[in-house]
Structure formats: structure tokens, C-alpha cells
Amino acid sequence: MADWEAELAADLAQRRADRLYRRRLVVEGPQGPLIQVDGRQLLSFCSNDYLGLAADPRLAEALQDGVRRYGVGSGAAHLVSGHSAAHHVLEEELAAFTGRDRALLFSTGYMANLAAVTALVGRGDTVFEDRLNHASLIDGGLLSQARFKRYAHADADALRTGLAGPAAGRRLVVTDGVFSMDGDLAPLAELASACADHAAMLMVDDAHGLGVVGADGGGTLRVAGLSQRQAPVLMGTLGKAFGTSGAFVAGSEAVIETLIQRARPYIYTTAPPPAIAVATRAALRIVQTESWRREHLQGLLARFRKEAVGLGLRLLPTATPIQPVLAGSVERALAWSAALEQAGILVTAIRPPTVPAGTARLRITFSASHDDAQLDRLLDALAHLPEVADVGQ
């Protein structure tokens, strides 16, 4: 073996020894509460398909219709010849949905975040990020070459202290709307007020909020009542509640045109298939009209929280479909996840470094497509988790 290959193998062996090794499941059919893995049916509580739209036949029909009208590939980047009428009209509808002047589509949320942060700040500027921000926001901050400052999780006072420091260049404050591992909401009104007092821009990644949070699915910014002026950069993903794929950034004319002109993850990549945009338009209509999906989800969440607390499980204070159950040690989280899998239930164990040491957990996520009997199965399995001492890290 070449030296470099031996090094890679040693590193992988170390990950295995640390019980940090990750494996992929091969899912055989469509997404849904029941998925087929290795010929076995599992009840899944770990997808981000919050409204149960990923396998909705109306989306599949719209996608097929899109393929009939636009073919499969977009053929080029948006700035060359890949920007289709399907993309364009979806952007207009997303702008209207979010109450922003304009919206701009991206192939993935990861790229949208790299694009927005790197286009809005650079060398000589400063980016402030919540410690628990999604990896793509952190990576965008690092790639931008702006001064990089993290503030304590969901702590607007800590942000204020940072913003009160020396101010050269532009300042961009970046936060998740709903934090992906804890399920809690950012204190958006306080963050926006700190930004207003210090002439900083606020960017909110609402990947887990749009479509889910608020009676109309308008997301965390709508619930906080923040206008485009107060929260000028809104990022949303389409692969979670919307059930399709891709993402968008919404904001003012100046923000969106800056992204089009400057954002390398926008300029140097092939536009997503137009048919995906057609399917996403169908999803947007369902998100806006079928509020029973959010109501059903809230019913499941309320019952889960009440009964899980009754079982003595440690939950976090959140009303979102992301419901972590704290285990503590990696060993305990893995043993719990394995026990659930034995019972035919799929729930991922989240370990450091994704979460802080000592806070390994089960990350349970709910979907509007779960029914009460499936929740009963989950609660019954949680009532029979094995005893595992909470030792180690």
C-alpha cells in the first residue's frame, strides 16, 4: 500500500475505534413512514420529509409533466442558457410566498449558503455565526475569508457584545431559523434588533422552518413578524418540507442581483432540471393550501412530548418536528438506536462532533404522513429501551 493509502486506512480504523464510523442504508422504495431496507420494512422517524410530500403522487405527476415539457437536463448554467421559464416562475412564486422582492434558485441548500455568505461578505468584512449553525453556513463563512466570529448558541446579548467591537467593513449575522440538531428556534426578533442597532445584515437559514413553522407554513421569519428590511437574507430549502430538491435565497433586488453577479456557487454550476421546478410549484401549492398537514403534525408532536416525558425521557424544549431524546454518552445513544432498529424502527443516533460531547442523542423527526398507530409503536419501543450506563464521553 502506498503511504497515503495506509494513512487513510489508519484514519478510518481510528474512526471505527471511536465509534464514529458512518454507514449508508440502501433504501429500496419511495420515502415515507415505512421504508424498505435490506428487504426489511422499517418504520422511519428520521427523514426531513416533514409534510409527507416526497412521494406525493401529485408531485410525481408534476415532475413527469415537467419532463414532457422541458426534457431532463437544463443543459447549462443559469447565466448561460440553463435558466428556464419553469425556474423563473417558481422564483416569482417563492418571492410572493416569503414576502420578499425576489427569490433565486439553487441546486442545493449547501450551495445556496456558500453562495449567499461569500457574495455578501469577503476580506475586510466580518461574519458572526451561532455556534450551532449548520455546517454549510460555517463553511460559507470560512470560504468567504471574512473575519469569522461565533457567538454563544441563540444568545442575542453575546451577539450584541460582538457587534459592539471594532467595526471595519460590512457585518453579516448568520443563523439557522430552526436548529437542525436541537430543534429550537433562533431568537430572531432579538437578533434582528441587535443587527438594526449596529447596521449589520441578518441572514436566516429556514431549512427546517419553511412549510412547517406557523399556521400557514410561512416559517420562522413570518412567525417572528420580520420584514425584508429587518431580515434581508432568507434562505429556504426545497428537499425537506417541500419534498423535492434544491433551495432558494429570497431578498431585495440588491441582494439577489449581487448573488447573480458574484456568487460562484451560482455562476459556475449547471442549473437544476426544470422539471424539479415544476414539481416544486406543485409542492408550494400544497404547502399553502393543506394546512391540515401542519395541524396533524402538531397533534402527533403534542402527544409524543406528553407521553415521552411520562416515560422519563429527556426531551429538549421545542415544538418543531425535530424532537431529540438526550442519551448523554455515545454508547448509550448507539445502544438505544440499535434497540429501536431491532424493533423495526429507524431513528438515527447523533454523536459528537455533530453535537457537543456528552449530549449524544436520538434525533427523532416527525412527518405529517405518520399516523397515531405508528406513534404508538415508537412510544412502546421507547418504553423498552435497554438500560445502558451513561458513562464515557
Ligand X SMILES: *Cc1c(COP(=O)(O)O)cnc(C)c1O
Which residues are catalytically annotated? 180, 208, 240
Give the CB-nearest residue to ligand X: 109
205-244 burial, b if ≥16 CB within 10 A, otherwise e? bbbbbbbbbbeebbbbbbbbebebebbbbbbbbbbbbbbb
What is the closest distance, in whole angstroms, from the C-beta atom of residue 204 to ligand X in the complex?
Answer: 10
- Residue ranges in 243-262 that form contacts with ligand X under rule CB under 6 A: 247
If one asks whether residue 277 binds ligand X (CB under 6 A), the answer comes out as no
Residue 171: half-sphere exposure toward Cβ, Cα within 13 Å: 22
If one asks whether residue 136 binds ligand X (CB under 6 A), the answer comes out as yes
Report how many residues bind ligand X under the rule CB under 6 A: 14
Using only C-alpha atoms, what is the Rg of the chain? 21
Out of 78, 87, 100, 134, point to the residue binding ligand X (CB under 6 A).
Answer: 134
If one asks whether residue 207 binds ligand X (CB under 6 A), the answer comes out as yes
What is the closest distance, in whole angstroms, from the C-beta atom of residue 63 to ligand X in the complex?
Answer: 17
What is the closest distance, in whole angstroms, from the C-beta atom of residue 78 to ligand X in the complex?
Answer: 17
- Residue type at 20? L
Q: Are 358 and 393 in contact (CB under 8 A)?
A: yes
If one asks whether residue 348 binds ligand X (CB under 6 A), the answer comes out as no
If one asks whether residue 293 binds ligand X (CB under 6 A), the answer comes out as no
Applying CB under 6 A, which part among 22-30, 104-112, 209-217, 383-391 lies near ligand X?
104-112
Question: Closer to ligand X at the Cβ: 209 or 274?
Answer: 209
If one asks whether residue 184 binds ligand X (CB under 6 A), the answer comes out as no
What is the closest distance, in whole angstroms, from the C-beta atom of residue 334 to ligand X in the complex?
Answer: 23
Residue 174 and residue 129: Cα distance in Å, rounded? Answer: 5
Question: Closer to ligand X at the Cβ: 213 or 382?
Answer: 213
Q: Which long-range contacts (C-beta less than 8 Å, at least 24 apart) are formed by 86-89?
A: 86/274, 86/275, 86/277, 86/278, 86/281, 87/271, 87/272, 87/274, 87/277, 89/277, 89/281
Applying CB under 6 A, which part among 105-113, 117-125, 282-290, 316-324 lies near ligand X?
105-113
Phi-psi map region of 232: left, alpha, beta (phi>0 left; psi -120 to 50 alpha):
alpha
- Tracing cell 447523533 back to the chain, one arrives at 350
Residue 144 and residue 203: Cα distance in Å, rounded? Answer: 15
- Which positions lie near ligand X, rule CB under 6 A? 108-110, 113, 134, 136, 176, 180, 205, 207-208, 237, 239, 247
